[in-house]
Each structure stands twice: as structure tokens, then as C-alpha cells.
Amino acid sequence: MPKLWSETVEAHRQAVRDATLETTAALVAEYGLSSVTMSQIAKEAGIGRATLYKYFPDVESILIAWHERHVTDHLGHLAEVRDRADTPAAQLEAVLRAYAHITHKRPRDSEIAAFVHRGEHLATAQQQLRGLVGDVVAGAARVGVVRDDVPPAELADYCLHALAAAGGLPSEAAVQRLVDVTLAGLRPRS
Amino acid sequence: MPKLWSETVEAHRQAVRDATLETTAALVAEYGLSSVTMSQIAKEAGIGRATLYKYFPDVESILIAWHERHVTDHLGHLAEVRDRADTPAAQLEAVLRAYAHITHKRPRDSEIAAFVHRGEHLATAQQQLRGLVGDVVAGAARVGVVRDDVPPAELADYCLHALAAAGGLPSEAAVQRLVDVTLAGLRPRS
């Protein structure tokens, strides 16, 4: 297969996949998980029903793929934010602010959220997130801007749990205060 | 009805209720929610099936009552711990340590936990918990041992979320470190 053709096929597959994910999430948000069918998704996404089944066996698997894409995007975003900052202290602050922002914006209490957060696929993403934050915390501890009397992995768990409070906060200003308080917990004891 | 008799009736009711709650929780933990029946509960608790139905309509409602009792016990314990400490700083530390300990010991990932945590009955308990911790934080802020640049209610949410990390920690020592870190986040900025 010539390279150009295989790239075109790949781009087409990606486009079908993307359209399917977005259509399904929108339909489930509007009508509820139990009333959305594969036929409805195919029709709304503008693809054949047989084609849809080549990609996904059922509505649930589409929702999980949709959520996995979101999670991957978020992890990628946090890695980018980390790489743009130039000191360990700045990396830590930037990653925690970005994570708190994601948590604040994340839709909650929806049927989709309840469904996807039950999934086992989350364990890997959770592990990657803890790894990313743990590394940034460890980097900041090595240069003395984070306390070294608590293991970095425990501090990362503390951060991720504390920042989960952002989900219930009413304003971006409150989210920034939460990050300030969380960061204060990480400082070396004077 | 003479007082003694009514007290005896009340004590009897409470005993039936307690036996039912404990029996149900034990049976569901052993056999799973879907395979435990009201007949089985009546038999194991040593009461008649008709009597059991006078107290509860189904297995789910028994589990919710069981969980509510636990939550009430925990709130009572936190209030006791608070009242035993004699300064606002000591109250704050004692309540946070007690809450982290409860969170650490709480069984997780069980079918019972997943079921009872879906319940709407938790909203009130959650509100009471936030109120109790918020008041203790506010008391400590008034005497200057907690930062006053963030509203006490936000600091209480931060504490409760941060201390939820205790659930995944491997040791009581790690739980104490988590409380230390969480408390450090609350200190006034120097």
C-alpha cells in the first residue's frame, strides 16, 4: 500500500472514530444511556450501521473509548504544561493548576460520568496521572522547594485528592485558592 | 402504657433493628447483594419473616439503614473528639486525625460500599460533616492558627478531600503524615 493511501485510510478511520465518539456522547447526554441505539448513532454520525459495528460492538464501548480519549488528552495536556515550565517549582505549580482546572471543568453527576468512572480502563490512566504528578513532586523535593519528610508518591496522592475538591467549587478564583492551599501543604517545614 | 413497658418495647425494637442490620451486612458481604433474601436475613437474625417486614421493606433499605447508623456513629465520634480537645488548634488537629483514621479503616471496593455510597441519604451526612469540620476550621482561624485568606468552608472541603487519600494508604504512619501535610496547608502564610 503506498504511503499516501495508507495515510488517507488512517485519516478516514480516525474521522469515523471521532464522529462516532462525539455523536454518541451527545446522544447519551440528551436521551440517556438506555435509550440510545447503535442504529441511531450510525444515522446521526452519517455512517453505515455495518461500518459502525466494524469499529465498536456496542454503545457502552463507544462511551468508554470517548472517555479514554478525554483522559489521554488531559494527560497529554498536563505533560505539555510541565514541559513548558522551566524550573521544578514552576512545573509543580503549573501541573497542579492545570489539573485543578480540568477537575473544575469536568462534568459531574451526569449518567455518562457515573458510567465511565466505573470502568476498569481508568486504573491505568490513574496510575499514569499519579506517576506524572509524583515525578514533578519528586523533582521539586530534590531542589528543596517541597518537603522531603514525606515520600513523593504520598504527596502526589495528597495533591490529587485535595484538588478533587475543585469539582465542587463555584468559581475559578476559589480553584486558585485551593491550589494555593494545596501547595502550602507541600512546602518544607520551616 | 407504663414507662417501664414502653422502654422495654423500645429496647426490644432497637435490639431487633441492630440484629437485622448486622446480620444483613454480614450476609451481603459473604454472598453478595443479589443473592441475599429477606427470608435468609430473618432466619439468621432469629426473627420472624413477618416481623422483619414490619421494620424494612427490602434488603436494600436494611443496608442503607446499616450505613446510616455507621455514618451517625462517625459524626458522633468526631463531635466527641472535638469536645475533648481544649483549644481551637487542638480541636482541629484531633478532628482531622480522627477523620483520616475513619477513612483509612473504611472498607472500600466492596459491593456494599459501592451500593451505599450511591444513596441520596449521604447528602445530609456529608453536609453535617462539612459543617462540623468547617466550624472547627473557622474557630482555629479566629485565633490565628489557620489562614484567613481562604473561607473556612473552602478549607473544610480541602481537608475532607485531601484526607480521603487516607483510604489508599498502606499504614497508620502514612495516614499521620497525610494529616501533617494537610494541616500544613491550613497554616497562615508567613
CATH of the domain at A48: 1.10.10.60
More confident call, A34 vs B135:
B135
A166 and A76 in a single domain? The answer is yes
Predicted local distance difference test score (pLDDT) of residue B155: 98
A37 and A93 in a single domain? The answer is no
More confident call, A135 vs A110:
A135
A98 and A182 in a single domain? The answer is yes
A121-144 pLDDT, tens digit each:
778 888 999 999 999 999 999 999
CB pairs under 8 A between A and B: 82
C-alpha distance from B167 to closest chain A C-alpha (Å) = 11
Mean pLDDT within A150-169: 96
Candidates B181, B183, B189; nearest CB to A150:
B181
Mean pLDDT within B168-186: 96
Number of structural domains in chain A: 2
Q: Which residues of B touch A115 (CB under 8 A)?
A: none
Predicted local distance difference test score (pLDDT) of residue B144: 97
Q: Residues 131..190 of A with a Cβ closer than 8 Å to B: which?
A: 147, 149-150, 154-155, 157-158, 160-165, 168-169, 174, 177-178, 180-187, 189-190
Predicted local distance difference test score (pLDDT) of residue A108: 67
In order, the DSSP letters of chain A are: --HHHHHHHHHHHHHHHHHHHHHHHHHHHHH-GGG--HHHHHHHHTS-HHHHHHH-SSHHHHHHHHHHHHHHHHHHHHHHHHHH--SHHHHHHHHHHHHHHHHHHS--SSHHHHHHTT-TTHHHHHHHHHHHHHHHHHHHHHTTSS-SSS-HHHHHHHHHHHHGGGGG-SSHHHHHHHHHHHHHHHSPP-
A121 and A137 in a single domain? The answer is yes
Mean pLDDT within A57-68: 90
Q: Which residues of B touch A168 (CB under 8 A)?
A: 157
A16 and A34 in a single domain? The answer is yes
A67-107 pLDDT, tens digit each:
888 888 999 999 999 999 999 999 999 999 999 999 998 87
Top mean pLDDT of A2-16, A56-70, B11-25, B85-99 is at: B85-99
B17 and B38 in a single domain? The answer is yes
B104 and B27 in a single domain? The answer is no
Q: List the domain range (segments joined by +) for residue A187.
A: 59-190
Interface predicted TM-score (ipTM) of this complex, two decimals: 0.83
Segment among A65-79, B51-65, B119-133, B163-177 with least mean pLDDT: B119-133
Residue A156 CA to its chain's centroid (Å)? 16
A67 and A31 in a single domain? The answer is no
More confident call, B119 vs A165:
A165
The enclosing domain of A159 has a CATH number of 1.10.357.10
A160 and A68 in a single domain? The answer is yes
Predicted local distance difference test score (pLDDT) of residue A3: 67
More confident call, B76 vs B108:
B76
Is the Cβ pair A186, B187 closer than 8 Å?
no
